[in-house]
Structure 1
């Protein structure tokens, strides 16, 4: 169990008494993603993106508005995956869970394969600024509801410092009801343990789409134009085509084989023989 640190904020003087958060830190838990954000591009693929992004498909609409620090990126989404995986595991073990969670910075950085230097701690703070600043408007159905909603990718967050040296020691985060509802409703898929090691943003996004659409079928065949729209890429279509061709040729996508038909502009994803992922 991760240690609990005394928060420096005066508003949490009675922290030990209220205990209205869940402490995370279960070992060896694979990342888990919610179905809706795997299908719809909530997270930017480019750092520093400050554009309002609009996405519409099959009657669903998503508008993502950046905060002062820009839109949260697909690498920032690691916080969602980390929290979701921990909460699902805790729930499976019979524990009570809540939207507000606390975890040590070191465990988060280690689990998501980030370095643990002082700069990494600083970058984690910047990640929280983007996640709390990015706002979403959507009518996507989650948890059995389909209503127009406005929410932040993280509702609120605080950084808790060690009383000994003032170093950033842990985070306390309140997840949006939208994500927590997906966790409680089982609208979650297990991702490859190697997902956190995938560094190219477009490769991460393509993996999410392949994992979501191949979850209960042997393969997924999609036109390049539809894949481009689903990806949320802001790159030119010709550059996106080159990225998909390179991904198919390299075989670098975890758990999946990718075939690109250049003549028809069609892409096919098939689970490879080592794919043992479960729901």
Structure 2
């Protein structure tokens, strides 16, 4: 590892005062390994937030904690001022939807049937499928442009089509907050852009609060309203790309010498590595 020029990243951290979902003083450890210690983070409402950082820095772990899939050893996660662990699972599932990294569909299931599973939080014992359920599924397919796939089998779809169907299933859950864990992994560049355009469209037209873990810096900086930049289990910086991105920060976090330019298309920060 190269010697890094030390900069104080903590001074760059930006907290958002308008956040339904926030975490305070989180700590997490596996056996003797400390993953997080005294971590604070806020998810701004009605924004597209992207979590980025080097491999192994805790991006997906943080996302899973915010969704209550992992419980911290210490600290608190609050939704609307309430500890998320005080909420009934179905109540939480009506507020937060999650598309994990790896998802498997039952063999031979149709697209519409898979999307319909997003209605689970609203199902009650002995209650039949309702017109509200049908409308939610139909709207989810319209938003993701998957209506024409409704009778197809999941196994027959391309990777990009499958990702849209999985997002439709989460949308059918009708949650105002959506978490996407590395949704562009295994997709080619055209399908990556297609998916990120969909996320931004859902955020801007429907005011979904979207949080995604991404690896590609320039895609994150182009599409995100809000960046959470992580390094070694810590929050290095939070804020808009233009406010927090600099060559010094990229060097400190990724050990990468680079030039930061203005993206000629989106006018957001663009990272140009110098190479060896």
Q: Same fold (TM over 0.5)?
A: no
Q: So what's the TM-score if we normalise by structure 1?
A: 0.23
Q: So what's the TM-score if we normalise by structure 2?
A: 0.23
Greater RCO (Cα-Cα under 8 Å, separation 6 or more): 2
